[in-house]
Amino acid sequence: MTDLGFLEEVDANIARGEALWRETGDGHGTTLIATEAGLAAIGLSPAEIRTRLDRRNPEPATSTPSTPRTGTKQARLIEMLSAPGGATIAEISDETGWQAHTVRGAISGTLRKKLGLEVITEREAGRGRIYRLPLT
C-alpha cells in the first residue's frame, strides 16, 4: 500500500503508544499512517481528512486566544453578554439549558481563561447580578 500512496512509513513514537510496523535496527522503529489519498480511499470527506491530518500534525501551541464557533451555546452566551444590558445567570440558564454552575464555569473557564475575554459583573437593581462584555 505504500507504493500506491495510501500509506506512509514514519518514525514511531512508542511513548505515545504507537505500534511498530518494523524495527530499523538502530533502536528505533517505524509505523504506518494513512495518507490523504488513503483516507479519501476509505470514503472520508475532505473535512474529515483535514481534521485527522490536523490532529496528527498539530500546530505549535500559541498564546493567542481561540475563536468561538458560531451557532453554539457558547456563541449564544457571548451574544447575551454582548447585549447592552448583559445577562443574569438565570437568563443564561434558561436560554442554554445549562445549570447555574455550568454557566459560571463557562464564564470563568471558557470566556475568561480560554478566550481571553474580559467579563464585567455588577449588581443591578431589580435584576440582581448581571454579567456582560465591555462594549467595543
pLDDT in tens, 113-125: 888 889 999 999 9
Answer for the pair 6, 34: CB distance below 8 angstroms, yes or no: yes
Output the pTM of the full model: 0.51
User: pLDDT tens digits, residue range 25-34?
Assistant: 776 788 787 8
122: nearest Cα among 70, 76, 87 = 87
Does residue 57 register a pLDDT over 90? Answer: no
pLDDT higher at 125 or 42? 125
User: What confidence score (pLDDT) does residue 103 get?
Assistant: 94
Element (H, E) at 11: strand 7-11
